[in-house]
A and B are shown apart, each in its own frame.
Chain A
């Protein structure tokens, strides 16, 4: 302003601009236009981020909340509208990580989530409230995987600094570091009673740890390449691992014996999840598919096809009926495990990982955009969410055009 130099021109509106609001940090601008729309701009780059449509007449004015999350617009259509400025969200978004979100673990009641990231931290979230409760710092490298004990008291994280860390979730205190792997640790799982943890490493081994002492109590060796994923059965008897060698291996946790090898994938196995009764395993692979395995019989039940790129991660409901997968095709897919039918697909840009709560009411996804999205997964929750989102009913004209009825039905 001192120089009076015009820095940038933001042009895209069809009608004249009636008002502008700037966010407190000056990063975003929202403009109101005679073309009935509002536009969100990134001031620094001059990029148009979003267009808000919904007013039926000239938008004469706009104001932004101090945190830049909400905009309120005034229109000649005699209404004011409140808008969500920050991107798309369903139930809520958990924001705070400054790097890629690699893993998410949920407590049994689905209220608490712990996530891990390339920003070298873990974060603890109040899922319902959408609030970050704590940041767990201590790793010196990417944190690639996280597991939570059944009671939600302890979190165990795996890092590319070759170590695992045990954390007390409530206090955020790091209790101990588990050392022994000779390369990055890519996956971790913990038994229901929280006594033992099993880690999967790029060094080709899985290691069993006594969580209380931090001592290594065994090594599961047999994979011929990097081990990328691990899961432990609810009865604490079985360990299932996924490897770059394209196989899954089933291990006996107490003896460390290899029970069987599950072959079928044409790509490395990036994720594995087990049903509560340990009857089923579902694996996610670089071959773009997921496979459902009968663990007792050691055979493949079916292949879940639909993703068009690498499947990063998979999560299974406790009853083993629904699986959700995260893929590099920017989609989260939900599958009926028994039929292999695809139930729904959610657009999830840059997604890496998914986690389901036990009651399968909500699904969390995290990824390269640093954000954790919370989705409503029960149709009841989704419909009530939709009801809370709409601020009007269909007009008679819309009903005639879209529903082919001559009276306006109530909002479902």
Chain B
């Protein structure tokens, strides 16, 4: 990197050679283009690169150089690259002919001074860092003002100014005999610290703003969770989970209200499992005595067997040709009885998914079924206004219970299998003696279904 780039007119080559030689003797690194016709594009690029890397740009003023197109190019490149400009007046010119950028710089007057003194001035100018000195003066003033105002932060440097001062301080290390004062150093350091603090404060403010926004979101979710609890507890749990997660995922402390809401939602929600699998409405369900297995009856014409704890589907029982409306199950869960809109009652071997018997006889939909505890007797309720009593092992119809005036919707049997209760759309319940098929009693009131509670 050259210390100085010399820009000149070819006509003044002799003078430039003398300057160059004198600089060489003092081991001052100089870049001069000696070529006569520097017009190729590549050469021009090389020249601009040299200007870019040189510390100083020396222009030799003469009527020829002032008119030179190439010199003009070099000057404007030096100016746009913030190079320090130095000028030597070699031959007088009209000031107005001079590039305005150069007119501002005080030239070294060769005709007046002669070579010796001109060169001396040039060396002195090269050794003086005007910018640095200027900044130095500026900072002395500013630091003193700061000091006199009890180091009030209002007098500190910031922004671009601070950046320049920091750069200036860094430059000081590379310049001989130029040490910043202790006060300047303190002043710049204090400014840096203050600015860093301000930046942090703004960042903190922003972080706090975001945290408040998250808290607000979490609070809103808590409110929605509380609102949902009554109508849909699961929605309440999910919203409370989102409320917790809103603050937790950002490593904030979990919002206490969110944690409360989650406790509340979990406590309130009685749903343990939602079992999906049927392709139509589910009309009936029965549980094995130990509560481990459930069988469901669906409009999709199948029955499905489920493990209650996990909701896992164990089997599908398919044989009915229309919607299955009802199901009853033996105590050990091995046998199931189903009623269907296809008018039949089917007895199933659950484990082997096999139909053991199809009981036919009803002339309309079967809406309900019941199975005695000893698994020998099944009773079906039908839209044909009757109930039928079936011998399960033999697969035989034993008798028909007639008396209802309209569809029979449901039936239940006492534990001992002696009595049955039926519910009909005619608005009555009827109690039947299973063994004889006799109607024992009619109970009024609109009823749809019934379940037997064994009474001693």
Give A residues with C-beta under 8 Å from B: 1-2, 4, 6, 16-22, 26, 43, 50, 52-54, 57-58, 60-67, 69-70, 72-85, 88-90, 341-347, 375-376, 379, 382-383, 385-387, 389-394, 398, 401-403, 409, 411-412
The one of B275, B284, B298 that contacts A82, using a Cβ cutoff of 8 Å: B275
| Alpha-carbon distance A85/B291, docked complex (angstroms) | 13
The one of B237, B244, B287, B455 that contacts A63, using a Cβ cutoff of 8 Å: B287
| Alpha-carbon distance A123/B148, docked complex (angstroms) | 80
Q: A78-B281, A379-B254 are in contact. Are A344 and B273 (CB under 8 A)?
A: no
Chain A residue at minimum C-beta to C-beta distance from B284: A61
| Alpha-carbon distance A354/B308, docked complex (angstroms) | 33
With a cutoff of 8 Å between Cβ atoms, the chain B residues found around residue A50 in the complex are 270
A-side interface mostly? mixed
The one of B270, B294, B410, B450 that contacts A80, using a Cβ cutoff of 8 Å: B294
A389 touches B259 (CB 8 A): no
A18 touches B266 (CB 8 A): no
B234 touches A392 (CB 8 A): yes
Chain B residue at minimum C-beta to C-beta distance from A52: B270
Interface centre among A75, A344, A409 (most CB of B within 10 A): A344
With a cutoff of 8 Å between Cβ atoms, the chain A residues found around residue B283 in the complex are 60-61, 74, 76
B272 touches A1 (CB 8 A): no
With a cutoff of 8 Å between Cβ atoms, the chain A residues found around residue B121 in the complex are none
| Alpha-carbon distance A64/B329, docked complex (angstroms) | 13
| Alpha-carbon distance A6/B429, docked complex (angstroms) | 11
| Alpha-carbon distance A20/B411, docked complex (angstroms) | 11
B272 touches A80 (CB 8 A): no
Q: A4-B443, A391-B273, A411-B241 are in contact. Are A60 and B453 (CB under 8 A)?
A: no
B100 CB → nearest A CB, Å: 61
Q: A344-B260, A383-B241 are in contact. Are A67 and B291 (CB under 8 A)?
A: yes
A382 CB → nearest B CB, Å: 6
Question: Is B83 interfacial (CB 8 A cutoff)?
Answer: no
6 other A-B residue contacts (CB within 8 Å) besides A1-B431, A401-B224 = A67-B291, A69-B291, A77-B281, A83-B270, A386-B266, A403-B221
A79 touches B451 (CB 8 A): no
Scan residues 233-263 of chain B and give those whose CB is less than 8 A from a CB of chain A.
233-235, 237-242, 244-245, 248-249, 254, 256, 259-260, 262-263
With a cutoff of 8 Å between Cβ atoms, the chain A residues found around residue B266 in the complex are 90, 376, 382, 385-386, 389
Question: Is B441 interfacial (CB 8 A cutoff)?
Answer: yes
With a cutoff of 8 Å between Cβ atoms, the chain B residues found around residue A385 in the complex are 266
Residue contacts A-B, CB under 8 angstroms, 20 given: A1-B431, A19-B448, A20-B451, A22-B451, A53-B231, A63-B294, A66-B289, A66-B291, A76-B283, A80-B274, A80-B275, A82-B273, A82-B275, A343-B259, A346-B264, A383-B244, A389-B237, A390-B269, A398-B238, A411-B241
The one of B232, B244, B279, B421 that contacts A53, using a Cβ cutoff of 8 Å: B232
Question: Is B131 interfacial (CB 8 A cutoff)?
Answer: no
Scan residues 257-307 of chain B and give those whose CB is less than 8 A from a CB of chain A.
259-260, 262-276, 278-287, 289-291, 294, 296-298, 306
Chain B residue at minimum C-beta to C-beta distance from A402: B224
A81 touches B275 (CB 8 A): yes
Interface centre among A16, A54, A61, A81 (most CB of B within 10 A): A61
With a cutoff of 8 Å between Cβ atoms, the chain B residues found around residue A402 in the complex are 221, 224, 228, 235, 239
Q: A80-B306, A82-B308, A344-B259 are in contact. Are A73 and B238 (CB under 8 A)?
A: no
B271 touches A82 (CB 8 A): yes
| Alpha-carbon distance A90/B267, docked complex (angstroms) | 5
B151 CB → nearest A CB, Å: 37
With a cutoff of 8 Å between Cβ atoms, the chain A residues found around residue B221 in the complex are 402-403
The one of A65, A346, A376 that contacts B260, using a Cβ cutoff of 8 Å: A346
A391 touches B259 (CB 8 A): no
Q: A78-B279, A347-B267 are in contact. Are A64 and B274 (CB under 8 A)?
A: no
With a cutoff of 8 Å between Cβ atoms, the chain A residues found around residue B259 in the complex are 343-344, 379, 382
Question: Is B449 interfacial (CB 8 A cutoff)?
Answer: yes
With a cutoff of 8 Å between Cβ atoms, the chain A residues found around residue B241 in the complex are 383, 386-387, 390, 411-412
Question: Is B427 interfacial (CB 8 A cutoff)?
Answer: no
B406 CB → nearest A CB, Å: 15
| Alpha-carbon distance A398/B278, docked complex (angstroms) | 25
A62 touches B285 (CB 8 A): yes
With a cutoff of 8 Å between Cβ atoms, the chain B residues found around residue A72 in the complex are 285, 287, 294, 308
Question: Is B143 interfacial (CB 8 A cutoff)?
Answer: no
A63 touches B286 (CB 8 A): yes
Question: Is B311 interfacial (CB 8 A cutoff)?
Answer: yes
Question: Is B14 interfacial (CB 8 A cutoff)?
Answer: no
With a cutoff of 8 Å between Cβ atoms, the chain A residues found around residue B263 in the complex are 90, 344, 346, 375, 382
* Pairs A-B, 3 closest by C-beta atoms: A65-B291, A76-B281, A391-B274
Question: Is B336 interfacial (CB 8 A cutoff)?
Answer: no
With a cutoff of 8 Å between Cβ atoms, the chain B residues found around residue A344 in the complex are 256, 259-260, 263
A198 CB → nearest B CB, Å: 34
A243 CB → nearest B CB, Å: 33
B235 touches A394 (CB 8 A): yes
With a cutoff of 8 Å between Cβ atoms, the chain A residues found around residue B242 in the complex are 403, 409, 412
With a cutoff of 8 Å between Cβ atoms, the chain B residues found around residue A52 in the complex are 270-271
Q: A1-B455, A4-B441, A79-B275 are in contact. Are A390 and B237 (CB under 8 A)?
A: yes
| Alpha-carbon distance A58/B281, docked complex (angstroms) | 9
The one of B297, B311, B448 that contacts A18, using a Cβ cutoff of 8 Å: B448
With a cutoff of 8 Å between Cβ atoms, the chain A residues found around residue B276 in the complex are 78-79
